[in-house]
């Protein structure tokens, strides 16, 4: 591995600070997926392949935050790219697809996230994606193409129809440059003339597409059910000793309940956040309480995994149980996840 690959994900002192970007290109990928290319106004951005960034968008006067993976590889040029699906009833993604234009300026938080290729054990890898879940994996593959072109990589990418499959031309080009890259495409609704794999992800199909799946370290991104299935197959193929990394794009399960102290006040505790105040009961998370009272705390997965809702605990006490969205170092530095923390006293938090 090169020196840059062994670095921990970049930790800036002020990661909550907003950075300004100019939108320099919009590239259609499929009928409902586009790649947005941004140029940071502060110069090249430090990030690792697989990390994500939270955009601050103004939808007709209302501010919303949405997190998107960076599909670009770090260190290639000064721009960063995000490959984004417009959800049928998605507010932010429809806005981005329909209203954003080249030249627009957008604020975003510095990249973050622990779903990174840099921490891998070796170069015997499987990348498994569905839909726009290909985005962080493409960042990883682009990075490996530049830093470890001999890496032994099997990529299985799934989509509904062949026309929905992402990055086909670039993957074919990368296969010419990366002698040990194997790519398998899976369409759940194939069309006449389709020569790839057909149907839904299952063990038989995966054992043909990636015969040594259980011996590979896996990076997986797609809908929760798809990732659960891939993980079960990996374990069944003997992969229990190989790391299986996942990135969730949406809420998985609400934060697990925690015991509520008998003396917790019924009216809840007082929470101060960046100059705003709201109350939170001992049995609800800071994020749930903030949302109920229309205070915006940026949120991605709402399940303690992505780190989007990270805030500093300035004063007070919380009970926190998360799913890996915060590193031990961040906890030691006094950061908490609003989606996974319940108040145990009056609390002051800051972005």
Ligand X SMILES: Cc1cc2nc3c(=O)[nH]c(=O)nc-3n(C[C@H](O)[C@H](O)[C@H](O)COP(=O)(O)OP(=O)(O)OC[C@H]3O[C@@H](n4cnc5c(N)ncnc54)[C@H](O)[C@@H]3O)c2cc1C
Binding site for ligand FES (CB under 6 A): 299-302, 304-309, 325, 337, 339
Q: What are the φ/ψ torsions at residue 93 (nearest 5 degrees)?
A: -75, -35
Binding pattern for the stretch 299-318 against ligand X, x by CB under 6 A and - elsewhere: -xx----x------------
The span from the CA of 160 to the CA of 201, in Å, is 11
What does 249 interact with, of ligand FES, ligand X, none (CB < 5 to 8 A by kind)? ligand X
Piece in contact with ligand X (CB under 6 A), picked from 65-73, 162-170, 192-200, 237-245: 65-73
- As a whole number of Å, the CA-based R_g of the chain is 21
Of 10, 75, 90, 265, the one binding ligand X by CB under 6 A: 90
Q: How far is the CB of 68 from ligand X (least distance, A)?
A: 4
Interface with ligand X includes 97 (CB under 6 A)? no
Closest residue by beta carbon to ligand X: 90
Beta bridge partners of 155: 127, 183
Contact 348, 315 (CB under 8 A): yes
Six token digits for residue 36: 């947005």
DSSP codes, 54-121: EEEEEETTEEEEEEEE--SPTTSSS-EEEEEE--TT-HHHHHHHHH--TT-EEEEEPPB-S--GGG-S
Contact between 67 and ligand X per CB under 6 A = yes
Residue number with CB closer to ligand FES (68 or 167):
68
> How would DSSP label each residue in 280-294?
E-TTS-HHHHHHHTT
Residue 299: CB minimum distance to ligand X, A: 8
Number of residues that bind ligand X (CB under 6 A): 23
Element (H, E) at 134: helix 134-147
8 A C-beta contact, residue 210 and residue 239: no
Nearer to ligand FES, 227 or 305 (CB): 305
Annotate each residue in 176-215 with x if it binds ligand X (CB under 6 A) or - if it does not, as one string: ----------------------------------------
Which chain residues interact with ligand X by CB under 6 A? 52, 66-69, 82-85, 87, 89-93, 132, 135, 247, 249-250, 300-301, 306
């Amino acid at each position: 591995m090169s020196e840059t690959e062994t670095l921990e994900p970049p930790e800036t002192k002020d990661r909550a600070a907003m950075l300004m970007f100019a939108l320099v290109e919009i590239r259609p990928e499929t009928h409902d997926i586009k790649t947005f290319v941004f140029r940071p106004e502060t110069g090249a951005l430090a990030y690792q392949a697989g990390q994500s960034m939270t955009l601050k968008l103004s939808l007709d006067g209302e501010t919303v935050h949405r997190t998107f993976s960076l599909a670009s590889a770090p260190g290639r040029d000064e721009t960063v790219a995000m490959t984004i699906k417009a959800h049928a009833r998605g507010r932010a993604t429809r806005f981005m697809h329909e209203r954003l234009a080249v030249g627009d300026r957008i604020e975003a938080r510095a990249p973050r996230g622990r779903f990174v290729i840099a921490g891998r054990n070796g170069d015997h890898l499987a990348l498994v994606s569905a839909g726009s879940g290909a985005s962080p994996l493409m960042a990883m593959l682009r990075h490996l193409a530049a830093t470890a072109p001999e890496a032994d990589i099997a990529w299985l990418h799934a989509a509904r129809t062949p026309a929905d499959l992402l990055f086909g031309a670039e993957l074919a080009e990368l296969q010419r440059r990366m002698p040990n890259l194997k790519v398998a495409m899976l369409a759940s609704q194939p069309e006449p003339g389709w020569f790839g794999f057909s149907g839904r992800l299952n063990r038989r199909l995966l054992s043909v597409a990636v015969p040594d799946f259980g011996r590979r370290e896996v990076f997986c991104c797609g809908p929760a059910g798809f990732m659960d299935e891939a993980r079960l197959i990996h374990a069944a193929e003997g992969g229990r000793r190989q790391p299986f990394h996942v990135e969730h794009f949406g809420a998985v399960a609400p934060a697990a309940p925690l015991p509520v102290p008998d003396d917790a006040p019924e009216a809840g505790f007082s929470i101060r956040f960046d100059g705003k105040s709201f109350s939170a009961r001992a049995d609800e998370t800071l994020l749930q309480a903030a949302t109920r009272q229309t205070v915006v705390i940026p949120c991605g997965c709402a399940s303690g995994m992505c780190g989007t809702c990270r805030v500093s605990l300035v004063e007070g006490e919380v009970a926190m149980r998360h799913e890996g969205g915060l590193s031990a170092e961040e906890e030691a530095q006094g950061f908490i996840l609003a989606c996974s923390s319940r108040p145990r006293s009056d609390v002051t938090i800051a972005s």
